[in-house]
Amino acid sequence: MKASVLFVCLGNICRSPMAEAVMRHQVQLAGLSEQIEVDSAGTGDWHLGHPPHEGTRKQLDQHLISYEGMKARLVTAEDFNVFNYIVCMDSNNLRDVKKLLDESGLKAAESEAGRKQLFTFMELLPNEGIKDVPDPYYDGNFTYVYELMDNGCKALLEKIQTDLKQA
């Protein structure tokens, strides 16, 4: 059994690529690269083809985490057929992804039956007391977002490992 994770944010240059890189790093350290695939996408098309934002790259560089080859892309209806876990950085991203799901003709029940899980990143960190991952594109707080990504990806990795054992 394999698992696949898609992180989604607005432009796919700050939060979701940071989550993708952190999660890939944690998956690699756990020796699970063959079992867990990780990617990221955005709901907006402003930055298509661009590498992660400078602030994201700086945080990842400080923690020796690779972002090589990462380029912004849009989330697509096909992603619902590929990824088991679709993790949105905020409630607006979740709303937009659900809208895409509805427009694609897939029903949420079909999605759940296919072992799909669609949720916000902060559901992984209920004790943080915030609903959405703040967007550092607007506030510049890439350090705080990195801390959230590190902790949330650890929680997600534990969840996936548990799910894989039960499959």
pTM score, whole prediction: 0.93
pLDDT given at position 116: 66
pLDDT given at position 81: 87
Q: Does domain 3-166 have CATH number 3.40.50.2300?
A: yes
DSSP 8-state code for residue 27: H
* 62 SS3 class: helix
pLDDT given at position 109: 43
pLDDT at 60 over 50: yes
The tens digit of pLDDT for each residue in 132-154 reads 999 999 999 999 999 999 999 99
166 or 28, higher pLDDT: 28
The tens digit of pLDDT for each residue in 104-114 reads 776 554 444 44
Closest CA to 29 of 2, 66, 3: 66
DSSP per residue, 100-117: HHHHTT--HHHHHHTT-E
Q: What is the mean pLDDT of the chain?
A: 92
- SS3 percent helix, strand, coil of the chain, rounded to 5, is 50, 15, 35
pLDDT given at position 111: 46
Write out the catalytic residue numbers: 9, 15, 135
pLDDT given at position 113: 41
Percentage of the chain modeled with pLDDT above 70: 93
Could you give the C-alpha distances from 29 to 41, 70, 147, in angstroms and in order? 23, 19, 18
pLDDT given at position 166: 86
State the average pLDDT over residues 91-105. Answer: 89
